[in-house]
Amino acid sequence: MSRHNDLDIGLVVGAHGRHVMIETPEGRRLIAHPRGKKSVCVVGDRVRWQAAGDEAVIEALEPRRNLLARQDEWRTKSFAANIDLLLVVLAGEPMFSESQLTRALIAAEDAGIAATLLLNKIDLPAAAVARERLKPYREMGVAVVESALKADPAASRRTLAALLAGKTTLVLGPSGMGKSTLINLMVPRADAQVGEISQALNAGRHTTTTTTWYWLDDAKSGALLDSPGFQEFGLMHIAPQRLAELMPDLRTHLGQCRFYNCTHRHEPGCGVRAAAERGEISPNRVRLYEGLWDELEAGQRKG
């Protein structure tokens, strides 16, 4: 048993640099600092803490159920921990990037986190094209929900309330897709909450913290986590040999290859490529797989 088990548990609800904000079970919020030099806490973590004046010192990190991270050539960036659902907000205007989407889904699959895609702006003409581009994702079992957050907020709110109830959901989405509209629709006083956390953490009124936690209701049964921006997901922490098993449409055909160490790129007798030729895997997904393999293999060589 940990020597810190008698300490109170706090929930990390905001982070900026080495400072975090924790919330106690009674709802009190405190600035907290990790003991030692390195901050390993992310939003969604449960920590054991003790008081230090009117602030707190984090003494221990509780075990995580999962951790969503991205890693490029230079550094690893963790988004959040203990997530039930990743909600990716997409639209046809501006058109979403399939490369960004695929990377986010692979990272979620690797972390064992369920993902749902929210196709927003379905009232606009470009929604038909976006819907068609999402067809392979629906077919491989990814849940796709549709909304018009601005044009029909009442219906969108009902759809989202059912989807998000009782869950801790991390919302991702490139700018212009409607992520801020979603958060403001589902979380009253969202701007005030983020301003409160940013100011407390000295992040400046206009600086968004790394990820921010919002309770969805007074009962605190569900929460939305907002991660600013949607830069390319670096997947350098994933070996290229694992890519196919993290892509459900490719994974279905694993075990049908002539060679046990098939890369599914050029070997004869490859079950994955045969499935692609039969039209069971979309050509675009094959291209994305090959591009990611090259990128990860190059990263391995550098490493």
Binding-site residue numbers for Zn(2+) are: 257, 262, 264, 270
What are 156-160's contacts with CB under 8 Å, separation 24+? 156/182, 156/185, 157/185, 157/186, 160/118, 160/185, 160/186
3-state secondary structure at position 56: strand
Q: Are 70 and 234 in contact, with CB atoms under 8 Å apart?
A: yes
- 173, two tokens: 């989405």
Annotated binding site for GTP: 120-123, 173-181
In 62-101, at which residue ranges do the beta strands (DSSP E only) sit? 67-71, 76-81, 85-90
Taking only Cα atoms into account, the Rg of the chain, rounded to an integer number of angstroms, comes to 21
114-119 and 85-90 as β-strands: parallel, antiparallel, unpaired? parallel
DSSP state of 269: T
Residues 49 and 139: their CA atoms lie apart, in Å, by: 46
- 246, two tokens: 């993290």
Q: Are 246 and 98 in contact, with CB atoms under 8 Å apart?
A: no
Single-letter amino acid code for the residue at 53: G
Among 296, 299, 288, 302, which Cα is nearest to 241's?
296
Contacts of 185 (CB under 8 A, 6+ apart): 149, 153, 156, 157, 160
Match 């309770």 to its residue by tokens: 215
Annotated binding site: 120-123, 173-181, 257, 262, 264, 270
Residues 8 and 4: their CA atoms lie apart, in Å, by: 9
Among 251, 284, 246, which Cα is nearest to 97's?
284
Residues 288 and 269: their CA atoms lie apart, in Å, by: 21
